[in-house]
Amino acid sequence: MMSSINWYKYSSPATFYGLAGKMIPWFYGAAALFCVAGLYIGLFLAPTDFQQSDAYRIIFIHVPASWMSMLIYVVMAFWAALGLAFNTRLSFMMASALAPTGAMLTFVSLWTGALWGKPTWGAWWVWDARLTSELILFFLYLGFMALQAAIDDPRRADRAGALIALVGVVNVPIIYFSVRWWNTLHQGASVSMTKAPSMATIMLVGMLVMALAAWMYAIAAALSRARSIILEREKNSQWVAQMVEAEA
Amino acid sequence: MSTLQIVFVLLRRELMLAMRRRGDVLTVLFFFVIVASLFPLGVGPDPKLLRLMGGGVVWVAALLAAMLSLGRMFASDYADGTLEQLVLTPTPPVVWITGKILAHWLVSGVPLILVAPVLGVQFGLSNEALGVLVLSLLLGTPVLSLIGAIGAALTLGLRGGGVLVSLLVLPLYIPVLIFGAGAVDGAMSGLGSEAHLSLLGSILILSFMLTPWAVSAALRISIE
């Protein structure tokens, strides 16, 4: 029965700290497993593409990273909204714990995109709508983290960060569509990535498995970062003192 | 006092303060002119190239100038305690926040609009494009003040607030830049600028309705 679980219990940092500690190895394990399987499918089972030869194989890193970079921003905004609505400290902590992972994956997506672009398009960077909006997403992550880093009072940092995350998530669709129209209006699209490429099933499977790996990794990384944040914030509380004593 | 009266009183106060500190207004204006003048020096005096870039350059300069003036929006009121008094008044924060944003636009947005045609002429824009440039700035610069107010409110009293504001606000300015510069571009190439101007107008209406609430929440976070 779902209703028999007391969800509120886990919104307390002390209980969440223990729960997250138990969950992290599983998520890291799943990430490693999916990663090995996905890379095996991607590098050994998937056939060479007749147009892009082996260069396309970067898709197995690139696409999962891009998907996760966007998803994490939405999840971050979700926790931020939850924190502002219910005033739960843990929600804010989750939002700040997710941001570095999201920014890192955005960077990976941009970087691998450049590596992929050079052999296939002949340019490291084109001002394609998707590339540009991914770059702007990276800026949004940076803004969130910079704002939180600049505020010393954790309560204000939490709330200010949450507000800017929400403002950002409202703006993301507007930015995305404006960039898309900008691109189609300014220059005849030299490179179109919007046509869904017909992809062999095995490539798709490899990509999805890698996406699962990225997902598991993101959860594990965010949880372990949340644990660090909890320890930092609660360092003067009794349960931390008892835990340290017990471990010593 | 009625809501409109409150906004009016606040506007008068802000404008009077701006008149007493004329230097601040002029600094932003000259910054705008200087940034726009740097581009021809950087990319070369080719009139064809400059005509292509003109609208975009003026718009980018307007974005940077608007951002530069954001620090003033709440900072001095925060420093001398006026902001706290405003929060304590029975007036809903959204009302006086709207007044302050309006004042900010009048002081730092309108001068840019007045100077922009001169810059446009320097870049060789056609007469029609100059009109569109002014119209697009008229629709777009209030959005810059509105969105910028969120950043200004969130970074109130922080060290390095100025640079931080740019990191927060500039990515959010991108749609305004795209449609503003796109409108001028459309007028220059003969494709028409109605679509861009309509989109700018809708962004203005949307941000006018939503941002005062976000600013009010941001101020509450920063002041408490």
Q: Mean pLDDT, to the nearest integer, of A115-141?
A: 85
* A98 confidence band (pLDDT: 50, 70, 90): very high
Query: How do the domains of chain A map onto residue ranges?
Result: 35-44+57-190+198-247
- Look at A163 and B217 and tell me if their CB atoms are within 8 Å: yes
Q: What percent of chain A has pLDDT over 70?
A: 89
Chain A residue with minimum CA distance to B207: A171
pLDDT score for A158 = 92
Measure the CA–CA gap between B41 and B24, rounded to whole angstroms: 26
Contacts of B191 (CB under 8 A, 6+ apart): A185, B185
Q: Mean pLDDT, to the nearest integer, of A8-36?
A: 87
Q: Which regions in chain B score pLDDT beneath 70? A: 1
**Lowest mean pLDDT: which of A72-86, A170-184, B63-77?**
A170-184
Does residue A93 register a pLDDT over 50? yes
- Look at B155 and A150 and tell me if their CB atoms are within 8 Å: yes
Does residue A195 register a pLDDT over 60? no
- Look at A160 and B218 and tell me if their CB atoms are within 8 Å: yes
Measure the CA–CA gap between B117 and B122, rounded to whole angstroms: 9
pLDDT score for A206 = 87
Does residue A189 register a pLDDT over 80? no
- pLDDT digit string, tens, across residues A198-220: 567 888 888 899 999 999 999 99
Does residue A31 register a pLDDT over 60? yes
C-alpha torsion sign, points B114, B29, B203, B15 = negative
Measure the CA–CA gap between A62 and A114, rounded to whole angstroms: 10
Chain A residue with minimum CA distance to B176: A178
Chain A residue with minimum CA distance to B185: A186
Chain A residue with minimum CA distance to B223: A156
| Residues in chain B within 8 Å Cβ distance of A151 | 158
The number of CA neighbours under 13 Å toward the Cβ of A94 is 27
| Residues in chain A within 8 Å Cβ distance of B221 | 156, 159-160, 163
Shortest distance between the Cα of A86 and any Cα of chain B, in A, equals: 15
- Look at A179 and B167 and tell me if their CB atoms are within 8 Å: no
Strand partners, A49: A53
pLDDT score for A191 = 44
Least Cα distance to B170 among A219, A221, A64, A138 occurs for A138
CA dihedral of residues A161, A163, A167, A172 (deg, nearest 10):
40
Contacts of B185 (CB under 8 A, 6+ apart): A185, A186, B55, B56, B191
Q: Which residue has the higher pLDDT, A155 or A187?
A: A155
Cβ–Cβ < 8 Å for A61, A108: yes
Least Cα distance to A162 among A108, A114, A95 occurs for A95
Q: Number of residue pairs across A and B with CB atoms under 8 Å? A: 76
Residue B154 touches chain A, beta carbons under 8 Å: yes
- Look at B167 and A174 and tell me if their CB atoms are within 8 Å: no
pLDDT score for A77 = 94
Comparing CB atoms, the residue among B150, B172, B178 nearest residue A179 is B178
Which of A135, A182, A183, A187 is the best mutation test for B, with the most CBs of B within 10 A?
A: A182
Mean of the per-residue pLDDT values for chain A? Answer: 84
Helix (H, G, I), strand (E, B) or coil at B181: helix
Q: Mean pLDDT, to the nearest integer, of A55-80?
A: 90
Vertex A13: Cα angle to A10 and A18 (nearest 5): 70
Least Cα distance to A23 among A243, A220, A247 occurs for A220
* A123 confidence band (pLDDT: 50, 70, 90): confident
Chain A residue with minimum CA distance to B151: A164
Residue B178 touches chain A, beta carbons under 8 Å: yes
Q: What percent of chain A has pLDDT over 90?
A: 41
Shortest distance between the Cα of B200 and any Cα of chain A, in A, equals: 11
The number of CA neighbours under 13 Å toward the Cβ of B58 is 34
ipTM of the complex in this document: 0.87
Query: How do the domains of chain B map onto residue ranges?
Result: 3-223
Shortest distance between the Cα of A111 and any Cα of chain B, in A, equals: 20
Angle, helix A89-121 to helix A201-233, in steps of 10 degrees: 140
- pLDDT digit string, tens, across residues A135-149: 999 999 999 999 999
* A182 confidence band (pLDDT: 50, 70, 90): confident
Comparing CB atoms, the residue among B179, B185, B191 nearest residue A178 is B179
Contacts of B161 (CB under 8 A, 6+ apart): A150, B71, B75, B155
Comparing CB atoms, the residue among A163, A171, A186 nearest residue B218 is A163
Residue B205 touches chain A, beta carbons under 8 Å: no
Q: Mean pLDDT, to the nearest integer, of A13-23?
A: 86
Least Cα distance to A112 among A69, A156, A66, A79 occurs for A66
Q: Mean pLDDT, to the nearest integer, of A108-120?
A: 87
Transcribe chain A into DSSP letters. -GGGS-GGGGGSHHHHHHHHHHHHHHHHHHHHHHHHHHHHIIIIISPPBTTTBGGGGGHHHHHHHHHHHHHHHHHHHHHHHHHHHH--HHHHHHHHHHHHHHHHHHHHHHHHHHHHHHHHHS-S----HHHHHHHHHHHHHHHHHHHHHH--SHHHHHHHHHHHHHHHHHHHHHHHHHHHHHHHHHS--SS---SPPP--HHHHHHHHHHHHHHHHHHHHHHHHHHHHHHHHHTTTSHHHHHHHHHH-
